[in-house]
């Protein structure tokens, strides 16, 4: 996973130099907070604004496939844009921060931590938010993605008593994934 961390650090440094707030989530986040697994991509959430596009493109072009029009569209639609590292073909999906109570809360809770083998600190989603997001994606995918389910369970298992269970339960209810959280917790009671 070290090469992916190195590629993610290039993107993180560019975001920071452009004063764009971000957090690392997805499978990379669950690997950091839970059980590591191989992945060829990373998910970030960023609070990028239209006037920051040019500076970000300037920092990353040449080393990454980056499309300013895709970024502009992602900002307008609170969607996602991709960055492809040309040397490794690793894909970084950058989701534009949505103006929802949960996403704003998740973003405000991000932590400054290190990734394995990288000395610089990066902004990472909390373990609680990784679990919630994995359950959201699991539900959105029709409950068939074992990877999402196993990632959520892995974070739950590794973090254990360190988790703010009340926070997870409260948001699971609001996000209508409480049944999934209960099912996951039952698996640990066996």
Of 106, 124, 142, the position where a domain reaches its end is 124
In angstroms, the Cα distances linking 41 to 26, 77, 116 are: 9, 22, 16
pLDDT at 151: 96
- The model's pLDDT over 66-100, given as tens digits with 9 standing for 90+, comes to 999 999 999 999 999 999 999 999 999 999 999 99
- Domain shared by 113 and 168, yes or no: no
User: What integer is the mean pLDDT of 17-28?
Assistant: 96
Contact at 8 Å (CB) between 5 and 115? yes
Domain of 106, CATH number, reads 3.30.460.40
- Domain shared by 112 and 152, yes or no: no
The answer to whether residue 170 scores a pLDDT higher than 70 is yes
pLDDT at 2: 78
The answer to whether residue 190 scores a pLDDT higher than 90 is no
- Domain shared by 111 and 139, yes or no: no
∠ Cα 72 6 79 (to 5°): 20
pTM of the model: 0.94
Number of compact structural domains in the chain: 2
- The model's pLDDT over 106-126, given as tens digits with 9 standing for 90+, comes to 999 999 998 877 888 999 999
- Domain shared by 6 and 45, yes or no: yes
- Domain shared by 145 and 182, yes or no: yes
What percent of the chain has pLDDT above 90?
86
- Domain shared by 27 and 95, yes or no: yes
The average confidence (pLDDT) of the chain is 95
Question: DSSP secondary-structure letter at 61?
Answer: B
- Domain shared by 61 and 153, yes or no: no
Of 124, 153, 174, the position where a domain reaches its end is 124
The answer to whether residue 185 scores a pLDDT higher than 60 is yes
- Domain shared by 20 and 104, yes or no: yes
- Domain shared by 111 and 175, yes or no: no
The answer to whether residue 189 scores a pLDDT higher than 80 is no
Tell me the residue range of the domain where 149 lies.
127-189
- Domain shared by 108 and 152, yes or no: no
pLDDT at 82: 97
- Which stretch of 14-23, 39-48, 62-71, 121-130 has the lowest confidence by average pLDDT? 39-48
pLDDT at 1: 53
CB atoms within 10 A of CB 145: 15
- Domain shared by 61 and 116, yes or no: yes
- Domain shared by 71 and 156, yes or no: no
């Amino acid at each position: 996973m070290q090469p992916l961390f190195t590629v993610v650090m290039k993107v993180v440094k560019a975001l920071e130099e452009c004063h764009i707030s971000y957090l690392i989530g997805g499978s990379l986040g669950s690997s950091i907070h839970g059980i590591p697994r191989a992945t060829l991509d990373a998910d970030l959430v960023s609070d990028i604004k239209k006037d920051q596009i040019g500076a970000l493109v300037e920092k990353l072009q040449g080393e990454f496939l980056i499309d300013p029009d895709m970024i502009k569209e992602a900002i307008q639609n609170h969607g996602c844009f991709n960055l492809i590292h040309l040397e490794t073909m690793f894909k970084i999906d950058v989701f534009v921060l949505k103006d929802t109570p949960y996403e704003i809360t998740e973003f405000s809770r991000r932590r400054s931590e290190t990734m394995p083998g990288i000395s610089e600190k990066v902004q990472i989603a909390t373990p609680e938010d990784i679990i919630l997001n994995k359950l959201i994606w699991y539900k959105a995918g029709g409950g068939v993605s074992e990877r999402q389910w196993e990632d959520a369970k892995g974070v739950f298992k590794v973090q254990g008593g360190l988790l703010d269970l009340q926070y997870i339960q409260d948001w699971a209810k609001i996000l209508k994934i409480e049944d999934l959280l209960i099912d996951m917790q039952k698996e640990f009671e066996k």
